[in-house]
Structure 1
């Protein structure tokens, strides 16, 4: 295997591990959200990454009047 090919595979593996870890803790990818919004809801505004992250955390762990809990 050539070095550029090995580096490409290593970077692809790293991205996949990051995606897997995010999904394990309930954090979907921002890029996936943006693509979905552009494809399915082009008339709606897309949240910034910071807004998306905060909204996902609140949905997952509580907020906006919900009682927080770990399990």
Structure 2
């Protein structure tokens, strides 16, 4: 098993603490467990995760709380 370098691990942990999953982990999972199915681009992934967390779409209410 190959251990990640400390800076990458710290960055990954920081992103998870603020609720932003890691794209590279997502892409590796999709390729390994769902071959033949499409993998979202990095931009699509972040947009989808942000909308899932904060809401999105035409019926979205524009407010902070």
TM-score by length of 1: 0.70
Aligned length: 61
Rg larger in structure: 1
Match of 1:24 among 17, 25, 33: 17
Q: CA RMSD in A?
A: 2.1
Query: Which stretches of structure 1, 4 residues or more, deviate above 4 A after TM superposition?
Result: 66-71
Q: Which runs of 5+ in 2 are unaligned?
A: none
Q: Which runs of 5+ in 1 are unaligned?
A: 1-11
Within the candidate set 34, 40, 50, 1:47 is matched to 40
Structure with higher RCO (Cα < 8 A, 6+ apart): 2
TM-score using structure 2 length: 0.75
